[in-house]
Amino acid sequence: MGKIVAGVGSSHVPSIGSAFDQKAQESPEWKPLFDGYKPAKAWLKEKEVTHAIVIYNDHGTDFFFDKCPTFAMGAAEEYPIGDEGWGIRDLPTVKGDLDFSWHLANSIIGESEFDLTICQEMVMDHGLLVPLPLLFDFEPDWGVKTVPLHVNVLQHPLPTPNRLWQLGQAIRKAVESYPEDARVAVIGTGGLSHQLHGNRFGHMNENWDQEFLDMIEDDPKKLIDIPHDVWMERGGAESVEMIMWLGMRGALTQDVNKVHRSYYMPMLTGMGITVMEDKVASAA
Amino acid sequence: MGKIVAGVGSSHVPSIGSAFDQKAQESPEWKPLFDGYKPAKAWLKEKEVTHAIVIYNDHGTDFFFDKCPTFAMGAAEEYPIGDEGWGIRDLPTVKGDLDFSWHLANSIIGESEFDLTICQEMVMDHGLLVPLPLLFDFEPDWGVKTVPLHVNVLQHPLPTPNRLWQLGQAIRKAVESYPEDARVAVIGTGGLSHQLHGNRFGHMNENWDQEFLDMIEDDPKKLIDIPHDVWMERGGAESVEMIMWLGMRGALTQDVNKVHRSYYMPMLTGMGITVMEDKVASAA
Amino acid sequence: MSKETGHSDHIPGTFVFTGKRSAKGLKLNKFAYSLAKAENREAFGKDPVAYMDTFGLSDWEKQKIIEKDVKALVEEGGGSIYMLIKIGAVTGDGLASMGAQQRGETLEEFMATRNVPLKQNT
Amino acid sequence: MSKETGHSDHIPGTFVFTGKRSAKGLKLNKFAYSLAKAENREAFGKDPVAYMDTFGLSDWEKQKIIEKDVKALVEEGGGSIYMLIKIGAVTGDGLASMGAQQRGETLEEFMATRNVPLKQNT
Ligand SMILES: [Fe+3]
Ligand SMILES: [Fe+3]
């Protein structure tokens, strides 16, 4: 039986991946960030997570504006590591689970009536590849099977925060109807505050980031009604991708056990991580 | 102000396009089919339709199963004629309307919460190209601006009939909030009964086709609850694409003025056309 | 509910194109899809096996394609009839021929069952 | 509500990447997107103008790309910063340099405003 065990929210800032590849984890600038992931990874391992559904966005690695899906979900055995312009990172090809992916597709499209784009070929981007190796073993190979779920947060119109929340609920319904054993972590990625264009480039907002982290844990439904413009105004235009965390949070019980949280705001982006245990999973 | 003027349901059988290109309109085998479109075209012209939203499916012309969107809508100035294997048909490039398409996208994704794939590049397939020149002028150029809206009816899971109906309602809402003048025909394509694979190849069902045509006109909501399996059983596996007519019918008033209908079942496929006038449009 | 296809194949003579079938036939269908491009049709026509090899097709797939065994490609190979029909653009087979083969009939036998046997046969 | 963008550009210094902007910048962004492939980075590096011409870029676009005027490309050209940043993979510019230019600052001035000026600047 499928079961949602954990929800994780995580930034996916590319520079984290560069620092990781350069083994800068212990450097003074990066130690606060990487230390924040250690308890998360240890706890997920303890919980014996077998599958990760990762709600992330591609940034022009696989998708372009010629054909821009609102939601695109992977259904493949393997997902190659993409080249975003600086070469291919030295990570093993991401491992999928065909049977699990198609089960999710049948439920999320066929029962919950989401209009997913189903990808049997899908190339991975930093949106997924930054958090994944910080949360799961990957040497010599991945310790988790992954379902990538891309969200358009680049080209407006974007999906509404409410739609992401509903997607989370559809994910829960789909996981819980999976007949095989699967201990699932749902991971929402992106943010926190940052703006990468215009003369507002570099805008960050630690107060909003901390408020957001509080709300995602304790009162997530309040986030549903915040329009895109307000996210952009508070956190910077590109921080609107934080709505992807609602896809994760909507998949969990209303109440959760707060496992871990950490925040660091070095240069361009507020970097946050939160780990929550599902109440049904913790009661079992 | 945008206004839905007409709803059209039409088959999109490729052989109609071949016969059209071979100027076989007056041959005894084809005359019954082509004569059925003449009153439809004349009436649409009389109603001064400016825009066509065409709900159709691509059959491996532009989309492949590597990335399979449930719904994909065009937002381009022009849509090239595709090569489906037999060369490019001699038709002018389909004309789009950028402003209208993006308005529809903003409303259908941003307000009605559909998860469309937005295509700024989209190549046209017989799903759209068979009915379009039978319904509108195209020489020397198209007399209508088109928004193509592709539906996945090839690879299961398919969108539910109910989801198509809801899409129609979202289309209506979007059209009615368009600030510019637009007299819109919504066109649902596909079917009617046919099966193109397995030893049930060649299955047709005139009784069901006629019942479907009755229901789409008079009692369309009864079609919403018919599961995919039943469509396939009654009309043949490939006839499940008839659910696309619900996207058209859901955009119209419950009651409609029945303008025209015709049916012909020559060889492999029940070929139907129905034209309906929206009650709000007819009252204006 | 068939575990393999994730779909109930309860309609006789019908093989619903499920995700599982699509996964199984992905290379086969990609090969057939590629024939929508004129240069690929030419390459396939010139040297069928070499062209099929560029898609990594299995020996079974290549054999069934050469034998025009659409029935096997659909029922066992995960082929989508919408893709397979493009093979006919090179081999000259129309949809009716492919249908007759799937029904275990000759083209003439099949055509005799039709209301109006059309010349345009796709 | 701006008629041009179909979106309220009410946040100062912010140019929301609307559909209308995406349409305007489609060629520009496609050029930048292409640089995700190694062979394209090489071709662009070797002969920038010839490479840009294969995407049908306008003289204005080519000039602004050569001048590294990210500000103009975003504000007027419909450029997506997520695509434009890939140009830096060839020219050597990092995101922070592009940001400083958009703010009308030198890189040094911009870095002085940061909590922790990181080496990894994308
Ligand atoms: Fe991002
Ligand atoms: Fe069709």
Classify the C-alpha dihedral D33-D35-D38-D40 as positive or negative.
Answer: positive
CA atoms within 13 A on the CB side of B108: 32
CATH number at residue D62: 1.10.700.10
Which chain C residue shows the shortest CA-CA distance from B233?
C11
pLDDT at residue D2 in the model: 39
pLDDT at residue C122 in the model: 54
Percentage of residues in chain C having pLDDT higher than 70: 91
Residue partners of B268: CB distance under 8 A and separation at least 6:
B13, B15, B194, B196, B202, B204, C95, C96, C99, C114
Least distant ligand from the CA of A13: 1
The answer to whether A75 contacts C6, with C-beta atoms less than 8 Å apart, is: no
Candidate CATH numbers 3.40.50.720, 3.40.50.300, 3.40.830.10, 3.40.50.150; the one for domain A2-283: 3.40.830.10
- Chains linked to B by 3 or more Cβ pairs within 8 Å: A, C, D
Number of domains in chain C: 1
* pLDDT at residue B281 greater than cutoff 90: no
Residues of chain C contacting residue B238, judged by C-beta atoms under 8 Å apart: 81
For chain B, domain boundaries? 2-283
Q: Please answer whether residues C80 and C16 qualify as being in contact, where contact means their C-beta atoms are separated by less than 8 angstroms.
A: no
CA distance B143 to B44: 11
Which chain C residue shows the shortest CA-CA distance from A102?
C19
Task: Give the closest-approach CA distance of A93 to chain C in angstroms.
Answer: 18
Per-residue pLDDT tens digits for B62-104: 999 999 999 999 999 999 999 999 999 999 999 999 999 999 9
The answer to whether D17 contacts A229, with C-beta atoms less than 8 Å apart, is: no
Q: Does C6 touch chain A (CB under 8 A)?
A: yes
Q: Residue D48's domain spans which residues? A: 17-112
Residues of chain B contacting residue A106, judged by C-beta atoms under 8 Å apart: 156-157
pLDDT at residue B189 in the model: 98
Residues of chain A contacting residue B117, judged by C-beta atoms under 8 Å apart: 67-70, 117
Of A103, A106, A120, the CB nearest to C22: A120
Residues with CB under 5 A from ligand 1 (ion): A 190, 241
Length of chain A: 284
Is residue C6 domain-resident?
Answer: no
Plot region of C72 (φ>0 → left; ψ -120 to 50 → alpha; else → beta) = alpha
Chains D and C touch (3+ CB pairs under 8 A): no
CA distance C88 to D104: 61
* pLDDT at residue D10 greater than cutoff 90: no
Q: Give residue A36's identity as a one-letter amino acid code.
A: G
The answer to whether D6 contacts B106, with C-beta atoms less than 8 Å apart, is: yes
Mutation pick from B77, B97, B99 vs chain D, by most beta carbons of D within 10 Å, is B99
Confidence bin at B283 (pLDDT 50/70/90): confident
Alpha-carbon separation of residue A230 from A140, A162, A207, A238, A273 (angstroms): 43, 14, 14, 12, 22
Task: Give the closest-approach CA distance of B188 to chain A in angstroms.
Answer: 18
Least distant ligand from the CA of B238: 2
The answer to whether A66 contacts B109, with C-beta atoms less than 8 Å apart, is: no
- Chains linked to D by 3 or more Cβ pairs within 8 Å: A, B
Phi, psi of A95 (to 5 degrees): -95, 130
Classify the C-alpha dihedral C105-C109-C112-C117 as positive or negative.
Answer: positive
Is residue D122 domain-resident?
Answer: no
Confidence bin at D8 (pLDDT 50/70/90): low
Per-residue pLDDT tens digits for B136-178: 999 999 999 999 999 999 999 999 999 999 999 999 999 999 9
Is residue C33 domain-resident?
Answer: yes
Is residue D65 domain-resident?
Answer: yes
Confidence bin at D9 (pLDDT 50/70/90): confident
pLDDT at residue C6 in the model: 44
Q: Which of A126, A150, A203, A260 is catalytic?
A: A126
CA distance A263 to A35: 10
* pLDDT at residue C3 greater than cutoff 50: no
pLDDT at residue C118 in the model: 85
pTM of the model: 0.97
Residues of chain A contacting residue C18, judged by C-beta atoms under 8 Å apart: 102
